[in-house]
Amino acid sequence: MVKANPVRRYLKNIWDSVYSTAVGMRITGKYLMQKPITVQYPDERLPIPDRYRGIHYLEQEKCINCLACARACPIDCIEMDAIRHGKELEWVSFTVDYQKCMFCELCVYPCPKDCIHMGTDFAFTVFDRSELVLDLLSYKGMSREARIRKKEAEEKKAAKEAAKAAKAAGAADKSASAADDEEQEG
């Protein structure tokens, strides 16, 4: 077996080092003068596509508490509670359990009012798992407009009943006076 010349091997090692460094630096040099593309998250964020399936948002004013979204959810992570006052709703809660939610969007399609959506928010860090049950309501109780509508409807109903009662009382008076007249004639 012929032994390799140590000087030659030494020089080859030097050449290999210089060559591989030059190849590596060629790539570095290519990007050296370009604008940096690193995003300083969370101060900066990349644009999120419109169809991104992040944390839900609810247009509460449009929601009719029909439960269609909750029924469509394959893992039962939507729960809601509202008290009905005629046509108006008094909201108590509308929660999504993000311990279970798999962001499948199946709750969005059956909504008859198109009021539950997948949002673009994704950062959801908590210290306690129970905090992953998120209430989507922006207000509890009734909205200001709903309170006004309810008050107007109640006033209208009261006026209608009063008019009905007055009419009934008028009719009763009329029949009583007619009976008196008959008695006098008799």
Does 83 bind ligand SF4 (CB under 6 A)? Our answer is no
Does 92 bind ligand SF4 (CB under 6 A)? Our answer is no
Choosing from 10, 19, 103, 139, the residue that interacts with ligand SF4 (CB under 6 A) is: 103
Residue 38 and residue 36: Cα distance in Å, rounded?
6
Does 104 bind ligand SF4 (CB under 6 A)? Our answer is yes
Residue 177 and residue 74: Cα distance in Å, rounded?
70
Does 73 bind ligand SF4 (CB under 6 A)? Our answer is yes
Closest CB 156 distance from ligand SF4, rounded Å: 26
113 or 151, CB closer to ligand SF4? 113
* Residue 174 identity (one-letter amino acid): K
Nearest to 101 by CA among 118, 115, 114, 120: 118
21 or 62, CB closer to ligand SF4? 62
Residue 38 and residue 32: Cα distance in Å, rounded?
13
# of chain residues touching ligand SF4 (CB under 6 A): 25
77 or 137, CB closer to ligand SF4? 77
Nearest to 133 by CA among 159, 96, 83, 175: 96
Cα–Cα distance list, 23 to 18, 31, 174 (Å): 9, 14, 111
Asked if 149 contacts 88 with a C-beta cutoff of 8 angstroms, the reply is: yes
Does 136 bind ligand SF4 (CB under 6 A)? Our answer is no
Does 78 bind ligand SF4 (CB under 6 A)? Our answer is yes
114 or 181, CB closer to ligand SF4? 114
Contact positions vs ligand SF4 (CB under 6 A) = 63-69, 72-73, 75, 77-78, 96, 101-107, 111-113, 115-116
